[in-house]
Structure 1
């Protein structure tokens, strides 16, 4: 509750402010100017800009002050950290709030996963708001650990940590008026809550139908024309720069004086190593500035625009009445954060809290045998997934095979690897085997329980023995990542929470992931193997993906046989 009397007295200088940031260069996102002066804070609210004295004062001479940065769309699980530890990492980068979609853990645990993320997030220093997943599973034929119907979402309406409905990936479900999809849309529309979109390369007439459901954002836009079309239809474009998908460089030229208020920044999926060494939204701001975007506009995308998009009232600006979440940094070019004010207080890291996890094991699968990787040769040509560097998009290509004893011995030309996906939630025994090129590793198998969005086991390698060992070792450690070479496990990372996250400190997790990076790079990887691999099973982004039920052609909206080359 605002203490209006105290705030008024402080603003009128009848009382000293609790905290004053003195002599700063204040980023004014309303006027797109820089204002010199003091910032007076009462409790967790800014009450004045001008000349003030306080019980505590911080000299900000030579420094810039902005509202705290906001990540407008992120899957925290992709960092491999639980929310409270993720939060501690981000605040030191100037991020004071984020809009998270927990559909990774929800695909494993359902509604209990949402509750876990909310409670863990509350224990961290930044404000984590959640968009309730709309597509669990992403498509009806997926083998996820849970199914979330519209009736399951009602319990989260009114939760203070919930902002709206998460990315509506099932575009065809919207256009075909799928009953449960429309129930979810109606539920959040009735509550007047934001709804996130996920609509890559959707045509104009389909976009009309999609946005008529009051879906307001898109983070899958990859080119200028697409971005401008969606803005014309009233959408916000969330400019993504994560670990695997990087659209910022292609989209920044679309940001103009007449439309910059319709853009925000997001990371979507960013690995802990990238977060530790490069940063989060602070990195997006720096990169945009380096490409010629006006620094104040770049900061506006990361503050006011994000707050307005998600109706985060009284956030995103440095002005009286706004929340005192502030970032102090030394340069408009580098955005190197010196200090962060959160809820009106100078943030000081208090270290880890006692972390308690009350979730069951998630690796419900029996050990596998090497024979499952054998593929019968039906013809001389075969469908192969072509992975595109730094993109979630894949292509379908046709390759030649060599057979031995009736089974595929080799796929050529190029470095073509075998890939497999195994259901791990309900021990159904369902799996499929295929082939992929573009992931340039040799003499190595990699298995992981991170495979968007259903998060079954996904494995690649150049020989069946190592792939078998990798999958079985992954099951044994309760999920995570395993690397195998020449019959030996040479690296692993245990992620016991849903097979996606660790309770360990971000620096420890980052060190372990860096060791895995070293291993795969020694074996030829150049393109963020782990994140790229994790998206090869996501059957909502073109063109060809692999699921537990086989190869799926997203463009044609159907499963295809490995040897169906028509």
Structure 2
């Protein structure tokens, strides 16, 4: 018998050989590697349980499932887990692994003990940093032996709008090439630029429909992002466009209206109790169009609350039966992503990934098996952790070929003026127009007014080498403490450097330190760096364990606790007082955002633009 393929990445030729072998093992004509006996097993396809059964494993796959003792062949190893219940390995239908801030091999070590064995990676974050290496990045850990299956969906938001630029640009040709290159590519990441979808005059219209066309041609899944689309006309248009899913529903009414129009619903934890309760009240009978989506969760938060297991527990606490909750993280997302031959159920031909539970209702995980072997015991990861020497293209992504100075953040006033009008934004400013105010002028420059919660915010280009700076005044965020600033390279979705500060000197100090570290966080006060966190991979992630990263984040939080922070409520209910960590997401430019600040371009030299209309405006006048 010839040696079987390594069976890490899905390949059609390898798949034939693997399945030919599995046929013989299932018939008992060839020996299995091991048989795992469990007390009961959840059948995701029927939503029922099989008592006292066995899972027969060959290589990384399942060859046979059935009542204990039903397998007619031989096996090299017998494993007794008859005190435990088995459910399929949990899948993430929509997740940005970059938001854990861990490279994929360390992400696997974090989430596999929490049940998550496969993820559909919404990859526009890294794609915007280094689009040409997108697939190579996401498949490297699996090639090296990590048991985590990552199915990349190249990003539609590369760039996020026509008014931004960076390390990637995806159109028809790029998406077609991705889908041809690897069967691991499941489709197209969330289509976020809704104005570009419906408006033929939008400068991104042709690019976006080209990338959708390439996905349709190869029968990939086109994921959606329907933030703020709640009226019936817009929901119908969204579905008509072929955008198959939405993870942005906030209310039961919105979720119900979208499911009724054929949109696959991906419920995030922060809206899960309300939406599940509302769908139950409305009598939803068929939950096959529903999955749970983590979307974004840091390593620190995952250590505290869990990964996909947290989502399942929350769903059960919200009134859903355990059986339906398990389907929402197994067979439902696998069907939606057209991945059922490989994941989503404990069934022949699938990867031998399953979660062994001591308690079903509370999702008490005893062990997780992945690729046919035990990969965790309790919260401890025991599977392979490949050591990856990430190349320069992943490590050198902050490209600023000069020293940033305080002058880069100064906003000049017109000669002879004592005051100037200024445009203001708040974090998550979803209004139709910006705020106008009057600000004082000193020494020829427009000044902050911290007494009125007004500070300075900037975006620094980290791709061109020029370090171009867009700056303006923002309301209700950043430090009130004098001579203090904080910044980060996680600036969704283009991921330039954002910085907010009470002095231009502190802002320059922060940006220069971030550039030296090739990404991450920096907090400066009183002329010194008080805390920093390294995201040396793509400026988004670190090649370290979750525990190591969490310890560094805790030092940042402690330093931030000594700073006084400005705050005002805004449109987002997830904008909180204190350290403004969610400014990472306040730089988004998709709907429902309108007026935003982006890195300067020839089209918008000051970087202040309405991304829905293309209109620009001075930041002071």
Normalised by the size of structure 2, how large is the TM-score?
A: 0.82
Paired position in structure 1 for 2:311: 284
Does residue 401 of structure 2 align to residue 401 of structure 1?
A: no
Counterparts of 1:406 and 1:339, CA distance in 2: 65
Paired position in structure 2 for 1:187: 214
Does residue 149 of structure 2 align to residue 127 of structure 1?
A: yes
Deviation for aligned residue 1:306: 0.6
**Further displaced range: 94-103 or 544-553:** 544-553
Does residue 545 of structure 2 align to residue 545 of structure 1?
A: no
SS in 1 for 2:448: strand
CA 1:181–1:15 in 2, change beyond 3 Å: closer, same or farther?
A: closer
Counterparts of 2:135 and 2:267, CA distance in 1: 25
Give the 5 Å matches for 1:230-269.
230-241=258-269, 246-256=270-280, 257-269=284-296
CA 1:226–1:479 in 2, change beyond 3 Å: closer, same or farther?
A: same
SS in 2 for 1:88: helix
CA 1:263–1:527 in 2, change beyond 3 Å: closer, same or farther?
A: farther
1:506 pairs, out of 502, 522, 546, with 546
Runs of 5+ unmatched residues, structure 1: none
Deviation for aligned residue 1:402: 4.0
Counterparts of 1:299 and 1:215, CA distance in 2: 25
CA 1:346–1:556 in 2, change beyond 3 Å: closer, same or farther?
A: same
Deviation for aligned residue 1:382: 3.8
- Asked whether the equivalents of residues 111 and 148 of structure 1 are also in contact (C-alpha less than 8 Å), the reply is no
CA 1:354–1:536 in 2, change beyond 3 Å: closer, same or farther?
A: closer
Does residue 185 of structure 2 align to residue 155 of structure 1?
A: no
SS in 2 for 1:455: coil
Counterparts of 1:441 and 1:25, CA distance in 2: 55
String of CA shifts for 1:469-524, please: whole Å, max 9, x gaps: 11111122222211111110011122222222222233222221222222223425
- Asked whether the equivalents of residues 20 and 38 of structure 1 are also in contact (C-alpha less than 8 Å), the reply is no
Deviation for aligned residue 1:354: 4.0
Paired position in structure 1 for 2:10: none
Paired position in structure 2 for 1:30: 45
CA 1:330–1:523 in 2, change beyond 3 Å: closer, same or farther?
A: farther
Does residue 373 of structure 2 align to residue 345 of structure 1?
A: yes
String of CA shifts for 1:4-40, please: whole Å, max 9, x gaps: 4434334xxx888543333423223333333322122
2:120 pairs, out of 72, 75, 99, with 99
Deviation for aligned residue 1:302: 0.7
Residues matched between the structures, number: 554
Counterparts of 1:357 and 1:530, CA distance in 2: 32
SS in 2 for 1:253: helix
Deviation for aligned residue 1:311: 0.6
Deviation for aligned residue 1:94: 1.0
Paired position in structure 1 for 2:569: none
SS in 2 for 1:318: coil
CA 1:208–1:291 in 2, change beyond 3 Å: closer, same or farther?
A: closer
2:618 pairs, out of 551, 561, 565, with 561
Deviation for aligned residue 1:441: 4.0
Counterparts of 1:110 and 1:372, CA distance in 2: 29
Deviation for aligned residue 1:93: 1.1
Does residue 216 of structure 2 align to residue 165 of structure 1?
A: no
Paired position in structure 1 for 2:332: 305
- Asked whether the equivalents of residues 49 and 320 of structure 1 are also in contact (C-alpha less than 8 Å), the reply is no
Runs of 5+ unmatched residues, structure 2: 1-17, 376-381, 566-575, 601-606
CA 1:293–1:440 in 2, change beyond 3 Å: closer, same or farther?
A: farther
Q: How large is the Cα RMSD of the aligned pairs?
A: 2.7
Deviation for aligned residue 1:384: 2.8
CA 1:500–1:179 in 2, change beyond 3 Å: closer, same or farther?
A: same
CA 1:259–1:522 in 2, change beyond 3 Å: closer, same or farther?
A: farther
String of CA shifts for 1:372-421, please: whole Å, max 9, x gaps: 32234676654333236xxx968955555344345333336653332110
- Asked whether the equivalents of residues 39 and 83 of structure 2 are also in contact (C-alpha less than 8 Å), the reply is yes
Deviation for aligned residue 1:144: 1.7
Counterparts of 2:608 and 2:460, CA distance in 1: 13
Give the 5 Å matches for 1:472-551.
472-524=512-564, 529=579, 531-543=581-593, 544-549=595-600, 550-551=607-608
Give the 5 Å matches for 1:411-426.
411=449, 414-426=452-464
String of CA shifts for 1:274-311, please: whole Å, max 9, x gaps: 12232211111112222222222111111111100101
Normalised by the size of structure 1, how large is the TM-score?
A: 0.90
SS in 1 for 2:449: strand
CA 1:152–1:354 in 2, change beyond 3 Å: closer, same or farther?
A: closer
Paired position in structure 1 for 2:572: none
CA 1:5–1:104 in 2, change beyond 3 Å: closer, same or farther?
A: closer
Paired position in structure 2 for 1:47: 64
- Asked whether the equivalents of residues 185 and 213 of structure 1 are also in contact (C-alpha less than 8 Å), the reply is no
